[in-house]
């Protein structure tokens, strides 16, 4: 089947999750962050993901904002920054204004010009996602923003991927699913989507039963995959 629908993970795929820590490190109030902002950002992201998996496995669902705060608290303690409530609040505030990667707006415009359905499918809570989309100016190039909150479990549970077919009345084979998370791309491949893994860090492929059909350095060539 031809691809009719392009679905994107949000955090780390369209939006740069390191942007909050990077920006805070450039502000004069937080000079102590200059040397370890990248470590903080990496810890924060890893714990954020790990907590979604653990909550999905144990049935202890909460929204992504709580997971994001819990991950930050762990990361700040791990980097010796847990005694700085001003920094904590600033990082959380910035997370609602994450920058999109530079190629994202034009890539999405090209997809819309080609007649594709476009949407986000994310672990993020609806209000977080709305804030990010508005801040990045992407509202006009996305048909919808789908959140796991409507099913109460995090990816890669198949009930999350079910949301795409329910929204766009399409078959899995008509969907190109794009994620910067190798495990997410693998899970979506197992579900039946065609998948593209945006591997910006040149990481090895995860040892899982499924693999993405496409591995890309960034999102620029996504419209070319549709037309090829």
CA torsion angle for 31, 32, 35, 37 (degrees, to 10)? -90
93 assigned to active site = no
Element (H, E) at 224: helix 222-227
Query: What's the token pair of residue 83?
Result: 């005694």
Residues 178-208, buried b or exposed e (16+ Cβ, 10 A)?
bbbbbbbbbbbbbbbbbbbbbbeeeeeebee
* Among candidate residues 31, 29, 11, the one with its CA nearest the CA of residue 128: 11
Annotated catalytic residue: which of 9, 16, 70, 184? 9
Task: Tell me whether residue 166 is exposed, middle or buried, using C-beta atoms within 10 angstroms of its C-beta: 0 to 12, 13 to 18, 19 or more.
Answer: exposed
Q: Please answer whether residues 135 and 20 qualify as being in contact, where contact means their C-beta atoms are separated by less than 8 angstroms.
A: no
Q: How far is CA 31 from CA 71, 87, 148, in A?
A: 22, 11, 37
Residues with a catalytic annotation lie at: 9
């Amino acid at each position: 089947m031809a691809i009719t629908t392009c679905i994107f993970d949000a955090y780390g795929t369209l939006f740069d999750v390191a942007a909050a820590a990077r920006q805070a490190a450039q502000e004069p109030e937080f000079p102590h962050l200059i040397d370890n902002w990248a470590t903080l950002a990496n810890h924060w992201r890893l714990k954020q993901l790990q907590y979604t998996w653990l909550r999905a496995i144990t049935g202890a669902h909460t929204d992504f904002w709580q997971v994001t705060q819990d991950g930050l608290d762990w990361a700040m303690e791990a980097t010796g920054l847990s005694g700085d409530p001003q920094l904590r609040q600033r990082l959380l505030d910035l997370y609602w204004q994450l920058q999109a990667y530079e190629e994202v707006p034009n890539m999405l415009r090209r997809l819309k010009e080609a007649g594709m359905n476009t949407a986000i499918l994310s672990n993020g809570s609806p209000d977080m996602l709305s804030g990010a989309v508005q801040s990045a100016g992407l509202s006009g190039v996305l048909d919808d923003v789908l959140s796991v909150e409507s099913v109460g479990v995090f990816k890669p549970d198949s009930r999350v991927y079910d949301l795409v077919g329910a929204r766009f009345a399409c078959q899995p084979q008509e969907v190109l699913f794009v994620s910067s998370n190798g495990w997410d791309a693998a899970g979506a491949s197992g579900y039946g989507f065609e998948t593209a893994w945006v591997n910006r860090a040149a990481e090895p492929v995860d040892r899982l039963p499924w693999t993405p059909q496409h591995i890309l350095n960034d999102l620029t060539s996504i419209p070319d995959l549709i037309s090829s």
